[in-house]
């Protein structure tokens, strides 16, 4: 593993408090591997044999039933996924595929569970990260149950604008059909939602969205602290 990658991972909240030897044990059994775009890393109902860390790239978490399919999360560096399944030695509830060429660290599940036993700091960090991921999912559920598609989009735009530095515009980093799925709607419906937001000063040019009248958009979106405020810890996704 290259040392900058190692440093990245070491600094993850999840691993930062670990003893050096426990961390070394974890990393020794692991693989850092490069995957091209569009590779399925995990399939739902697979046993969780590895904990995955997105070191570089972008990974989509998704799930389906027969015909329908939905995107549950998009994991950016440095993020973790299928932590919950690993900890409880259960099958995965979500599939994962790369949206870009990605560097992925794969840590054997058994080593993670072992580190939980042997390293108290790791156990505590895991609790904190797990709780944060859990709270993010509850927020997603509230977003889904309490808002219309256009409202979800409007609030996503406001959150993402802040996250991207508050420049009054948002760059969509994934295909719009994936954003649509993440927001719980069809691509057609996302297009229409963007059209509807024109009235509140939202202008679309390809993947670049301009927010010309933030006050107006906020008035429509009615953002809610208990849905739209990011959790303190951000470097984790799991299932």
Partner DNA sequence: CGCCGTCTTGAAAGTAGTCAATATATGTGG
Partner DNA sequence: CCACATATATTGACTACTTTCAAGACGGCG
Comparing CB distances to DNA, the nearer of 24 and 188 is 188
Give the x/- contact pattern for DNA in 98-137, rule: CB under 7 A.
Answer: ----------------------------------------
What is the spatial order of strands in the sheet that 40-42 belongs to?
40-42, 95-98, 59-65, 68-75
- Which one of residues 29, 77, 101, 184 is an interface residue with DNA (CB under 7 A)? 184
d(C-alpha 135, C-alpha 138), whole Å: 5
**Binding-site partner at residue 165 among a copy of itself, DNA, none, CB < 5 to 8 Å by type:** none
- Under the binding rule (CB under 7 A), the answer on residue 33 touching DNA is no
d(C-alpha 2, C-alpha 97), whole Å: 23
CB 164 to a copy of itself: min, Å? 24
- Which one of residues 12, 132, 150, 158 is an interface residue with a copy of itself (CB under 8 A)? 132
- Under the binding rule (CB under 7 A), the answer on residue 139 touching DNA is no
- Which one of residues 88, 162, 186, 207 is an interface residue with a copy of itself (CB under 8 A)? 88
CB 197 to DNA: min, Å? 11
Where do contacts with a copy of itself occur on this chain (CB under 8 A)? 44-45, 63-66, 68-70, 72, 83-85, 87-88, 90-91, 93-94, 116-117, 120, 123-124, 126-128, 130-135, 137-142, 144-147, 184, 222, 224-227, 231-233, 238-239
Where do contacts with DNA occur on this chain (CB under 7 A)? 68, 148-150, 175-177, 184-195, 204, 206
């Amino acid at each position: 593993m290259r040392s900058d990658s190692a440093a990245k991972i070491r600094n993850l909240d999840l691993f930062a408090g670990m003893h050096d030897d426990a961390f070394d044990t974890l990393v020794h059994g692991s693989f850092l591997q490069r995957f091209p775009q569009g590779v399925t890393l995990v399939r739902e109902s697979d046993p969780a044999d590895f904990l995955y860390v997105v070191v570089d790239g972008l990974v989509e978490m998704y799930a389906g039933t027969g015909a329908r399919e939905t995107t549950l999360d998009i994991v950016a560096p440095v993020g973790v996924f299928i932590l919950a399944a690993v900890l409880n030695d259960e099958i995965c509830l979500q599939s994962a595929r790369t949206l870009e060429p990605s560097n992925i660290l794969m840590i054997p599940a058994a080593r993670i569970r072992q580190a939980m036993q042997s390293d108290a700091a790791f156990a505590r960090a895991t609790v904190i990260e797990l709780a944060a991921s859990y709270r993010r999912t509850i927020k997603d559920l509230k977003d889904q149950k309490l808002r219309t598609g256009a409202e979800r989009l409007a609030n996503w735009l406001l959150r993402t604008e802040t996250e991207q530095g508050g420049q009054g515009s948002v760059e969509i980093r994934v295909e719009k059909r994936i954003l649509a799925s993440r927001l719980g709607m069809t691509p057609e419906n996302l297009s229409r939602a963007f059209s509807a937001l024109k009235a509140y000063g939202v202008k679309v040019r390809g993947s670049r969205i301009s927010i010309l009248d933030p006050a107006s958009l906020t008035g429509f979106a009615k953002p809610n602290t208990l849905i739209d405020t990011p959790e303190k810890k951000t470097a984790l996704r799991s299932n």
